[in-house]
Every structure is written in structure tokens, then in C-alpha cells.
């Protein structure tokens, strides 16, 4: 069984859209949003996946068999699946058979993770792109919870892992550079993305964040889904 988040309608959060962030931005994809997280970012835009002080678990989460999820995913007729959360690797053992089965039907996969849990070899074998998003001090998580050296080393060794950082202020870029140096992350696989839940907030930060990318040799990403649809759940 996998614990899946629900859309506002109560249906499991399996939906078809465009990848809104990162190296495959704009790519048509099915999204599977898994519930629960091991961090608690203050600016998290999916708190309904983990914040049980403010959201009701039974209303927000549904447990489904792998076969039920597979049927929903295949129903969209799209060949790329983005597995997101919450933190999907909290359920990685349960994900292995779902991914293997969908792979045999020709699907490709991206996993979005906060980079604190090393992936299982069975998943590494089948995942096409890892969107690793280590959290900075601006997330409000203590350093020993948000930065795990062995997990980051495991992802660094995967050529298909990108490291995406949400930046809010200029000091965040210095923090990214320090983290890059501590873990030897390659510049060409580092992506900076401005923080913002509205198009206006994104625009405000995009200028200086893109300039920082040029200076450091990083990639830049906007948040396409915010520009197109605002903060709407399930888009």
C-alpha cells in the first residue's frame, strides 16, 4: 500500500500537467503525490501532505494498492511520471514494484526528493531523473535534519541527479555555494529557483537569482505552475 495525498475533491492526487520546475521544466507528465514528509519547511506549499497539526490526516491521505495507482496513471496515456510529495523516499520500498511494473510498460520516471534519504538500488536502476532539493536555513529546519552527507553523496554519484535550491535572499546563494563545496556537487547539475507562491513574488526575485546563476555557472529555473496557475492544488 502507498499513502497518497488527496486533491481538494477528495480524489487521490494523481494528475496530468506540465513539469513546473527543474531540468525537465515544461515536459508533459503525470504526477503522483505521496503523503508524509520528514522535514517541516516553513514555506512548504504542500503542508497538507504532512502538517497534521493543521490538516486532518484522514481527509488528506488515502492508502491505495499499487495496482490501483498504476491504473490511474496509465489512464492518462502519458509516458512520463513525476513522483513527488511530501517526501516520496519515505515510501521507497513500496514504490519499487509500482515503478518496475510501469517501466515494463515503457514509462519514464522523475522523483522529487529533499535529499535526506539515500535511494534504494532497485529504484536507482529504474528512475530516469532525480530532482533533489536540499533545504537551506530559510526552510526553518535544523541543519542536522535537512543536510545528510551520505544521502547527498549517493545522489552526487548519480549522473541523472540534479540539485535544485529554493532561494529567497542573496545570502541563500552563499549557503548553496558552501553546501556545494562541502559535498563536491557539480555546478552544471545545480539549479537555483526563486521562492514564491505568486507570479509577483517570483518576478521580484527572478532577476537577481538568474544573475547569480550566470555568475556561479548554475542553472536557473522558474516555477512554471505558479506562473500559469498560481497556488492551485492538483495543477
CA geometry: angle at 139 spanning 135 and 140, to 5°? 125
Smallest gap from residue 164 Cβ to ligand SF4 (A) = 11
Over 36-69, what HEC string results? Answer: CCCCCCCCCCCHHHCCCCCCCHHHHEEEECHHHH
- SS3 of 18, please? strand
State CA 215 to chain mean position distance.
Answer: 25
- Determine the interface stretch with ligand SF4 among 19-27, 66-74, 85-93, 227-235 (rule: CB under 6 A): 85-93
- Determine the interface stretch with ligand SF4 among 38-46, 75-83, 123-131, 193-201 (rule: CB under 6 A): 38-46
List 14, 35, 41, 161, residue binding ligand SF4 (CB under 6 A): 41
Q: Which of residues 93-132 bind ligand SF4 (CB under 6 A)?
A: 114
C-alpha to C-alpha distance for 187 and 180, rounded to whole angstroms: 8
Is residue 87 within the footprint of ligand SF4 (CB under 6 A)? yes
Is residue 196 within the footprint of ligand SF4 (CB under 6 A)? no
Smallest gap from residue 112 Cβ to ligand SF4 (A) = 8
User: Are 187 and 173 contacting, i.e. CB atoms less than 8 angstroms apart?
Assistant: no
Comparison of 44 and 64: residue with beta carbon closer to ligand SF4? 44
List 14, 30, 34, 37, residue binding ligand SF4 (CB under 6 A): 37
User: Are 163 and 113 contacting, i.e. CB atoms less than 8 angstroms apart?
Assistant: no
What are the residues whose beta carbons fall under 8 Å from the beta carbon of 147, sequence distance 6 or more?
116, 134, 135, 179
Picking from 186, 135, 133, 136, the residue whose alpha carbon sits closest to that of residue 157 is: 186
List 22, 85, 194, 196, residue binding ligand SF4 (CB under 6 A): 85
Helical segments of the chain, H only? 57-60, 66-74, 92-103, 121-126, 143-146, 149-156, 170-183, 199-216, 224-229
Smallest gap from residue 74 Cβ to ligand SF4 (A) = 26
End-to-end alpha-carbon separation of the chain, Å? 24
- Determine the interface stretch with ligand SF4 among 6-14, 25-33, 43-51, 168-176 (rule: CB under 6 A): 43-51
Smallest gap from residue 46 Cβ to ligand SF4 (A) = 5
Size of the site for ligand SF4 (CB under 6 A): 12
List 86, 88, 115, 196, residue binding ligand SF4 (CB under 6 A): 86
Is residue 140 within the footprint of ligand SF4 (CB under 6 A)? no
Which residues contribute to the site for ligand SF4 (CB under 6 A)? 37, 39-41, 44, 46, 49, 85-87, 114, 135
Amino acid at each position: 500500500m502507498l499513502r497518497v495525498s488527496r486533491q481538494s475533491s477528495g480524489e487521490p492526487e494523481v494528475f496530468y500537467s506540465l513539469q513546473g520546475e527543474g531540468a525537465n521544466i515544461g515536459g508533459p507528465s503525470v504526477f503522483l503525490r505521496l503523503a508524509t514528509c520528514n522535514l517541516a519547511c516553513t514555506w512548504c506549499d504542500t503542508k497538507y501532505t504532512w502538517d497534521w497539526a493543521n490538516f486532518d490526516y484522514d481527509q488528506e491521505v488515502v492508502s491505495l494498492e499499487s495496482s490501483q495507482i498504476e491504473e490511474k496513471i496509465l489512464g492518462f496515456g502519458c509516458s512520463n511520471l513525476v513522483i513527488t510529495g511530501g517526501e516520496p523516499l519515505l515510501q521507497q520500498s513500496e514504490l519499487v514494484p509500482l515503478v518496475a511494473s510501469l517501466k515494463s510498460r515503457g514509462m519514464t520516471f522523475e522523483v522529487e526528493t529533499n535529499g535526506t534519504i539515500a535511494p534504494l538500488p532497485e529504484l536507482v536502476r529504474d528512475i530516469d531523473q532525480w530532482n533533489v532539493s536540499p533545504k537551506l536555513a530559510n526552510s526553518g529546519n535544523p541543519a542536522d535534519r535537512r543536510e545528510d552527507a551520505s544521502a547527498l553523496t549517493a545522489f552526487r554519484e548519480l549522473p541523472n541527479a540534479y540539485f535544485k535550491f529554493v532561494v529567497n535572499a542573496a545570502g541563500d546563494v552563499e549557503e548553496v555555494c558552501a553546501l556545494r563545496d562541502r559535498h563536491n556537487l557539480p555546478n552544471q547539475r545545480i539549479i537555483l529557483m526563486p521562492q514564491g507562491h505568486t507570479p509577483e513574488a517570483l518576478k521580484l526575485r527572478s532577476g537577481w537569482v538568474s544573475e547569480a546563476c550566470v555568475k556561479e555557472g548554475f542553472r536557473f529555473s522558474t516555477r512554471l505552475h505558479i506562473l500559469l496557475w498560481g497556488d492551485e492544488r492538483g495543477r
